[in-house]
Structure 1
């Protein structure tokens, strides 16, 4: 299985150190968010600099699984929104130089920052608005032979697997695929149904899934709190079996797992890989 980690969840801040740390912890793949890992905006990268990063990664046997260029597609400031659309397109333009076609984002919220729940997020008009932003991104991706990855979340505009399925049906393109972050779809009311939610996502989207984000959680003070993998309520034996059965070529990216939680989480998943 193709196991990776989000680069800025590690301590390293240079390409060589990042690749070495990832490999030493058992991660041959990285979700790379350039400004968070290296403190440098996408506009500051050219072909030579990207080639240098890729060389450093290759020395440690590490590859970029996807670029993260997450932004709020429905931010209330149209100028800020357009700046981020342009930045996302620049990621698409350069993605293959990093060794991946994939650039990912979520679908945002009418709550500008942080992207938490807003009553408008789950309205039909919200879906129609974000769909047109995604359509524009996918059209650009087609022109540069890259791929937009869309990630849903309960608090955002694409808030359930059924709506993500509608999106990929409304924009039929091989340059549009999806990230499944099961934790993102959960809340205090539905978290016990996480197996059913995963099964629905696999039923509807298995042919479009390129990435899974791996998280675990406990319930604390009426809220879901993320914890190390294997230390919470997610049924990972079931989850891993389903992924191996239905989407064995997907990237499995550890997200939000840091510090002392990384090594035991990796060991836990390694045990399930071998079952």
Structure 2
């Protein structure tokens, strides 16, 4: 029922795009979140190397193995404090938006970054100024996306300026763009204090902005020393069977991208997900 996928860079030692396609085909995976600069950085560094020809060739190489790009990944620090570096990052994202259709990707995704050059936890991300900076940037990106007939996917996270379900709703209201979508990773909104209420947190997200949720990121986690630590699928305390059953009712057919599950562990995860989703 679901479109189950993985991040391309979670499959290691793939020398070419065709290699990646073959590996995905062997795993019976037909959807990939494709981060060009992480899987094959030499082909798109600098981003001026990217062309419609390269995008279409990538799309075809994967399609030959029955794989589609469900998410085009271009994770940037959209509120970098150095305005020159911020502008370069935004222009890179806009370049990906301009070629998304050539990749056959419906959506280009990013998180919302950090007020510091290096992305990490800081309470300074929770200020009104940081939020308003994100609003202005996302307005710009959705305007560019509209010119190219594609979507912008924003992924909230507790370490970022869009750090809660309520702040996500505020962003959606402030930007007011039909082509703004949400990439929901529940683990990004869970803390060591709240993880036992994960179902309530997920339900709240769907109550507030379920109509905007277009892609799910799914990663398991453990709680250690008061921290949420991502782990491979099935090795943590994420209530995955409940979540999949919930999604079957709320978003049948949605793209689910596995995270933090790599190489040989992917096959087991995909098999388990298919079994649970078919129940």
Alignment partner, residue 77 of structure 1: 82
User: Hey, what's the Cα distance between the residues in 2 that align with 1:111 and 1:117?
Assistant: 9
Q: Distance in 1 between matches of 2:236 and 2:81?
A: 36
Count of aligned pairs between the two proteins: 274
Report SS of the residue matched to 2:75. coil
Q: Is residue 269 of structure 1 aligned with residue 273 of structure 2?
A: yes
Distance 1:224 1:119 in 2: 18
Task: State which drifts further: 54-63 or 34-43.
Answer: 34-43
1:214-272 superposed Cα distances (whole Å, 9 cap, x missing partner): 10011223322222212211111110011111111321001121133222222221221
Once the two structures are TM-superposed, the CA of residue 193 in structure 1 deviates from its matched residue by: 1.4
Which residue of structure 1 lines up, in the alignment, with residue 179 of structure 2? 175
Q: Unaligned 5+ residue runs, structure 2?
A: none
Give the counterpart of 1:186 among 182, 185, 190: 190
Structure 1 spans left out of the alignment, 5+ residues = none
The 8 Å contact of residues 229 and 268 in structure 1, kept in 2 or not, is answered as no
Cα distance in 2 for partners of 1:249, 1:235 equals: 20
TM, length-normalised to structure 2: 0.94
Cα distance between partner residues in 1 of 2:264 and 2:59: 27
Aligned match for 1:107, one of 99, 112, 130 = 112
CA shift digits 1:154-186 (9 cap, x unpaired): 010000111111111222222111100111111
Structural mapping, 1:51-70, within 5 Å? 51-70=56-75
Alignment of 1:27-176 (within 5 A): 27-39=29-41, 40-41=43-44, 42-113=47-118, 115-176=119-180
CA RMSD of aligned residues (A): 1.3
174-183 or 261-270, which deviates more: 261-270
When the two structures are superposed, what TM-score results if normalisation uses the length of structure 1? Answer: 0.96
Change beyond 3 A, Cα 1:111–1:189: farther
| Aligned mates of 2:195, 2:167 — CA distance in 1 | 18
The CA distance in 1 between the partners of 2:163 and 2:149, in whole Å, is 28
Give me the whole-angstrom Cα distance separating, in 1, the residues matched to 2:176 and 2:273.
34
Question: What is the CA–CA distance in structure 1 between the aligned matches of 2:83 and 2:116, rounded to whole Å?
Answer: 14
Contact kept? 2:220, 2:231, Cα under 8 Å: yes
